[in-house]
Amino acid sequence: MAKDIDIKQGIDWTTVLIYIALLGIGLMNIYAAVYNVDNPKSIFSLEHNAGRQILFMFVSFALILVILFVDFKVYDSFAYIFYGLWILVLIATIFLGSDIKGSKSWIKLGTFSIQPAEFAKTFTVMALAKYLSTLGVNVSKLKYAVRAALFIFVPPIIIILQKETGSALTFAILIVVLYREGLPGVYPALIISFIILLILALVFPNWTVVLGLALFAVLFWYLFLKRYERNRQNLQRVLGLFILFSGFVLTVDFVISNVLAPHQQRRIKILVNPDSDPKGDGWNVIQSKIAIGSGGVMGKGYLQGTQTKFDFVPEQSTDFIFCTVGEEWGFLGSFIILGLYFILLTRLLSLAEKQKSKFARIYGYGVASIIFFHVLVNIGMTIGLMPVIGIPLPFISYGGSSLLSFTLLLFIFLKLDAHRSYKV
């Protein structure tokens, strides 16, 4: 290969700038979240999360240098090996992991702990990209789609065994990657339909939802389908779908009360009606909404938040960091941060499309999907649009594993992109 002396060459600076901006915003808000007016400590103090986050940032910068120095072809060539090794690490974690807040997903390294599940995303995306870029693989065919799905499903199953359900859910978003690579659109469409139905079933009495479905089927039959399409075959399909959806709606309650764990049940109930348990699990959601809502247009000003202090909302600097943003920086700040994420996502997708190598393109889509899912769920949870699922806000939430894993995920893509003219 050509010797790269200038490791900066070809790096997409727009992405790097957004990355740095998000890191800076994150640090400021972590400091605000742990800030105690009665006893302010320096941002650099290692006694609280802000100081430690600075430390993690420096580790991340070192990691970036390593990524930029390593030959870009490594990721393609060793994708399966990384994936396989990491699955072993995940399995080992079940047995060696130390219990932190009821989940066995942490491995202690001296005074710090790392969460291998966070890094599993990167290696799964890598292996998936490798598989999908293999000659002859075509996910529009069921056989290949199932195999690709296996790559996606193995890590989250192990992660669920570590009792880290939130992290495991992330992998579901990789369906976006499959869709981009040719998975028939009906699958994502079905999934989205099911999600909408689930919400409807939770909010409204089930029989009204079924009635609505029936009405929709009739309207669809007479208004949407042309006369010549109203044949026996399509009637079977429409009826089939109606029965499937109705069945889903009618079994929602049963599934929720019999399959899900009690705390998961509560979270779903809270999503629909936080006031059902305002002092228990609904507490976070209510407090979070009040904090963000009380921010107004301009926010209360940096370090001036009143709702996000005193450590009443747990995970203030990790999962609920967006509350601090909403309260202190108001709508304007929230808008800017959401804006940054969406500029980043747009940029990542357009870079992905530019890739000559299929591997790099698929990897790029994987990166964008994973970041999107985290933003979707994390912010959604703080504004009451998503159930409480403990996953971090990329680059902003406090946490070494989270920051390092997102840095790894993103910068491998930037490294691949720097060599986008190469076709492997």
Partner 1 sequence: MLSDLVPITFMLESRKPVILIFFYIIGAIYILRLFYLQIIDSSYRSLGSLNSIRREINVPLRGQVYDRKGKLIVANEEVYDMFVTPKKVLPFDTASFCNLFNVTKSYLDSTIAIAKEYSKDRPSRFLRQLTKEEYASVIDAMIQYPGFTFEQSFFRTYPGNTMANALGYIGEIPQKKFEEQEEQYYRKGDYIGLSGLEKYYENELRGIRGVRFTLMNVKGEEKGQYADGKYDTTAVIGQNLYTSVSLELQQLADSLFKNKVGSVVAIEPSTGEILAIGSYPTYDPSLLSGKSFSSSYTVLSKNPDRPLNNRAISAFYRPGSTFKLVQAAIGLQMGVITPKTSFASSPSQFIFHSGPYEAANLYNAIQLSSNPYFYNVFKKILANNSETNPFKQARVGLEEWGTIVARFGFGKQLGIDLPSESKGVLPDVKRYDKIYGKEQWKFSNIFSLSIGEGEYGVNVLKLANLCATLANRGYWMTPHLVKKTGINEASSKGINIETHKTGIEPRHYEEVIKGMHLVVEAGTGRSAKVEGIEVCGKTGTSQNKKGKDHAIFIAFAPKYKPKIAIAVVVENGGFGGVASAPICGLMIEQYLNGIVKRQAYKEQVMNTSWTTVARHNSNASVVKKPSQTIIE
Contacting residues toward partner 1, per CB under 8 A:
36-39, 41, 176, 179-182, 184-187, 189-190, 234, 237, 241, 279, 289-297, 304, 306-307, 310, 312, 326, 330-331, 334-335, 338, 341-342, 345-346, 349, 353, 365, 372, 376, 379-380, 383-385
CA atoms in the 13 A half-sphere facing the CB of 294: 17
Compare residues 41 and 104 and give the one whose CB is closer to partner 1. 41
273 SS3 class: coil
Minimum separation from the CB atom of position 220 to partner 1 (A): 11
> Considering the complex, what minimum distance in angstroms separates the CB of residue 349 from partner 1?
6
* Look-up of token digits 């690579």: 181
Residue type at position 100: I
Secondary structure of 272-305 in HEC code, one letter for each residue: HCHHHCCCCCHHHHHHHHHHHHCCCCCCCCCCCC
Please count the other Cβ atoms lying within 10 Å of the Cβ belonging to residue 237.
Answer: 9
- Those residues whose C-beta lies under 8 Å from the C-beta of residue 115, and which sit 6 or more positions away, are 105, 106, 107, 164, 167, 401, 402
By C-beta, is 6 or 38 nearer to partner 1? 38
- Shortest spacing between CB 388 and partner 1, in angstroms: 16
What is the C-alpha to C-alpha distance for residues 271 and 149, in angstroms, rounded to an integer?
29
Q: Which CB sits closer to partner 1, 222 or 335?
A: 335
The rounded distance, in Å, linking the Cα atoms of 126 and 421 is 19
Rounded to a whole number of angstroms, the minimum distance from the CB of residue 101 to partner 1 is 20
Nearer to partner 1 by C-beta: 161 or 383?
Answer: 383
Q: Which is nearer to partner 1, 7 or 286 (CB)?
A: 286
For partner 1, the closer CB: 10 or 184: 184
Q: Least CB distance from residue 289 to partner 1, whole Å? A: 6
Which candidate, 68, 191, 75, places its Cα nearest to that of 133?
Answer: 75
Q: How far apart are CA 153 and CA 233, in angstroms?
A: 34
CB of 179 to partner 1, least distance (A): 6
